[in-house]
Amino acid sequence: MTSRGKVWGSLSALVAAVVVGVLGVEGGYVNDANDAGGETNHGITVAVARDNGYTGPMSSMPVEKAIDIYAESYIKGPKFDQVLALSPAVGTKLTDIGVNAGPGRAARWLQQSLNDLSRGGRDFTMVATDGDIGARTLAAYAALEKRRGRVKACELTIKLLDGYQAAHYSALAKSASNASFMVGWVDHRLGNVPLDRCAEKVAGVVG
């Protein structure tokens, strides 16, 4: 088994908990005319469902299929599992952002947050905001932890992620079709990962 495979295995319980949390927020089948994503079920849009091989009616998509899509496309695919291994709270926040605003945007916001917290590169090397979480991004987060402490690094990152997310929603709400979603976005998506979760660690993962 590869090192990443070992990490993924040790994260299985946490990944399941993250997915269950997302499902609790997303709910069941919706076909809102104002939602650009079209039909959704369990928070999965019709386009994402088709990309992941589901061809049946969206109203009948099994929750098990949604769970598989979340784990593969919103955690493992964008490499949020590797962030979960460092900080379950930050990894959970990234996954939730990814479901609602796109995994690429979530990854870029993490990278932007790290650059913001690097003090212009004085504390650690800044990273490209390319939406690709790789060794340099993970090293920057580890360097932030070393500089600020594990818990404080997590708290600072989550606060910035919430800030980027709030600005994103504010911009979207300028469109009449999105305005009706603003209250729900703010209520359910901002501050939804409590800062006291920053003390959590993943059993079996060194770091």
Specify the CATH class of 3-199 in words. Answer: mainly alpha
Percent of the chain with pLDDT over 90: 48
Per-residue pLDDT tens for 2-36?
444 444 455 577 777 777 777 777 667 877 766 66
Q: What residues form DSSP beta bridges with 41?
A: 44
Mean pLDDT, all residues of the chain = 85
Q: What residues form DSSP beta bridges with 40?
A: 30, 45
Q: Is the pTM of this model over 0.85?
A: no
Instruction: Examine the pLDDT at 42 and tell me if it is beyond 60.
Output: yes
Q: If DSSP codes are grouped into helix, strand and coil, which group holds residue 41?
A: strand
> What distances in angstroms separate CA 143 from CA 55, 73, 74, 121, 130, one per listed residue?
44, 27, 25, 11, 19
Instruction: Examine the pLDDT at 179 and tell me if it is beyond 60.
Output: yes
